[in-house]
Amino acid sequence: MNENHLNPKDCLGGRYRILSIIGQGGMGAVYLAEDLKLRGKRWAIKESKGNGHVQNFRKEAETLIQLNHPYLPNIVDYFPPNENGISYLVMDYIHGQNLAQKFKNMRNQLPFEKVIKYAIQICELLHYLHSNSKNPIIYRDLKPSNVMIDQQDNVRLIDFGISRSFKQHKQQDTVHLGTVGFAAPEQFEDKQSDHRTDLFNLGAMLYYFFTGGHYYTSRKSLQHTNIPLPMIQVIQKLLQFNPEDRYQDTLQVKRDLEKLQNDKQRLDFPNKTSLELSLQFEPKVIVVGNMYQGAGSTFTSIALARMFHHYKIKNALVEYPTNIPELYSLLNGEKNKPKQYEFLFDKYHEDHWSSNKLEWNSGYTTWYPLPLSNDALLEKNESKTEIEPLLFNIRKPIMIVDISNGWSHPSVQQLCNSADEICCVVDSIPTKFSAGLSQNNLKTAIRLKQSGKNVHFIVNRDINARVKKLWNNTLPWNPSCYIANFPFENVHEHIWKGKMFQIEKNIKDKLIEGLYPFISQIVPKSMLEQQANSTGSLKKWFQIQH
């Protein structure tokens, strides 16, 4: 351990072994540490250095220690300033990203339902802080970067450095703090902040999300946004200049937001008429991989892409860098690629690039195949940090990532930890499933399932009802869907002719029937049925099913 910071393998207090640095700021670093006493437990250790930060840091520790709420990090240990003036706070490690990062990664467009959900949770937390009978807490710095989103998609409020205890007899705050763009007027005037200050901060944050990243000071009109009038009225009331004119009760804000959340008419936004535009769900990453070599992950990935295309849902199919390049040839790239096409994997690491110029579109699907020469590409992608910017820059409502046989690669494991849906492809030949590598992949699938991930088995080359029953008895949980067994010679014939097998009409109808149970878990059924009403063969299939 040196004078300024902790290093990996250092041990704080004889108990917390440092694993890595997970954040760095002006006042210090945040470390990931393992607990040597509670084996398997990991903590975040927040560091503060410099005399100017010690008071706020100690105040944050004292504030958090007395609180207990599911949307707050728990404090487990505190180390006061050492001889070098460095303090440490040991707290829950929240695996996720903050709302500022999430908003940026989604190109400044958070789905309406997500914003409402997070705002309701924040209201619940603010009510808890404000109604503390012994010591009401005013947070005073509510902003996207201070709101973490954990793996369960719930908020966790962090950084209590400038919070204060409310003292009714005081006429003004001792110090005027807050973040420009989110702070209330009284935070920069000689007035005392109270619970209504936090409500102004909440309104400013909602304004920021619904205007695509504009601060309230920009005075961008909410009337030109695609949000319903009741939501505009809530935000306007939160943002009143005088605290007396704002909401006076946090629970009332929560009730009004819940009414919006439950109102079935809330999605009637202006100009949202087509299925493509009215699709109001957060972009999803779907990982598709083989349980064993040759199970058909690439065939399944292409089939999924074309099914989403059929439903007029924009999607992307990304061939992961751990794969042996195959997609380009299957797409007959030499004939079908756009003129002057450049592989995205050759360009995305450059300083300036735009995925739009590199897109290979086929209807609602965008293809991202690997270059045929994949030399050294794997070495460039040893960690998720290399692939993550690519996924964010090609963000589509649906992103299918074909990892083929790459389950064991560290970057794939990290990708699976953040993916929304994980599809494990198996076929109707059981002998391969008993091999050692297949069993390792099965253990990976089970581990991901136990961690709370949505893990699906997709059976490829399904033969008959008897085999289907055998699969249901063999797998640890039932498959989400079954893809019909298509004659091998027909598939090969299409490949040799440079044609896509999955778009043949009689093939497509069978794929729709097979994949619908899975797709309907990703996209609301009402939207799929709306599209079915405008498609003859699909409409007929729905009538049979219902």
The domains located in the chain, with CATH, are 11-92 (3.30.200.20), 97-267 (1.10.510.10), 276-545 (3.40.50.300)
Q: What does the alpha-carbon distance between residue 300 and residue 502 come to, in Å, rounded to a whole number?
A: 9
pLDDT at 114: 92
Q: What does the alpha-carbon distance between residue 174 and residue 185 come to, in Å, rounded to a whole number?
A: 15
Which tens digits make up the pLDDT trace of 178-207?
577 898 888 876 667 888 999 999 999 999
**Phi and psi torsions of 306, nearest 5°:** -75, -25
Please give the DSSP secondary-structure letter assigned to residue 182: T
Q: Both tokens of residue 180?
A: 């420009």
Nearest to 153 by CA among 233, 256, 71: 71
Which tens digits make up the pLDDT trace of 346-363?
655 454 444 455 678 888
pLDDT at 167: 41
Is the model more confident about 11 or about 469?
A: 11
Q: What is the mean pLDDT of residues 252-258?
A: 94
Nearest to 197 by CA among 230, 241, 145, 146: 241
Q: How confident is the model at residue 10 (pLDDT cuts 50, 70, 90)?
A: very high
- Compute CA 388 distance to the chain's CA centroid, rounded to the nearest angstrom: 12
pLDDT at 343: 80
pLDDT at 471: 72
**Helix/strand/coil for 318:** strand
Is the model more confident about 254 or about 133?
A: 254
pLDDT at 531: 60
Nearest to 420 by CA among 379, 443, 396, 452: 452
Q: What is the pTM of this model?
A: 0.51
Is a pLDDT exceeding 50 seen at residue 510?
A: yes
Is a pLDDT exceeding 80 seen at residue 163?
A: no
Is a pLDDT exceeding 60 seen at residue 394?
A: yes
Q: How confident is the model at residue 546 (pLDDT cuts 50, 70, 90)?
A: very low
CA distances 311 to 79, 522, 543, Å, are 57, 12, 17
Name the strand (E) or helix (H) holding 541: helix 536-545
Which tens digits make up the pLDDT trace of 59-89?
667 777 778 889 998 888 888 888 877 888 8
State which amino acid sits at residue 80: P
State which amino acid sits at residue 256: D
Q: What does the alpha-carbon distance between residue 534 and residue 510 come to, in Å, rounded to a whole number?
A: 18
**Phi and psi torsions of 284, nearest 5°:** -120, 140
Q: What does the alpha-carbon distance between residue 393 and residue 390 come to, in Å, rounded to a whole number?
A: 5
Secondary-structure breakdown of the chain: helix, strand, coil percentages, each rounded to the nearest 5:
45, 20, 40
3-state secondary structure labels for all residues of 331-368: CCHHHHCCCCCCCHHHHCCCCCCCHHHHCEEECCEEEE
Q: How confident is the model at residue 16 (pLDDT cuts 50, 70, 90)?
A: very high
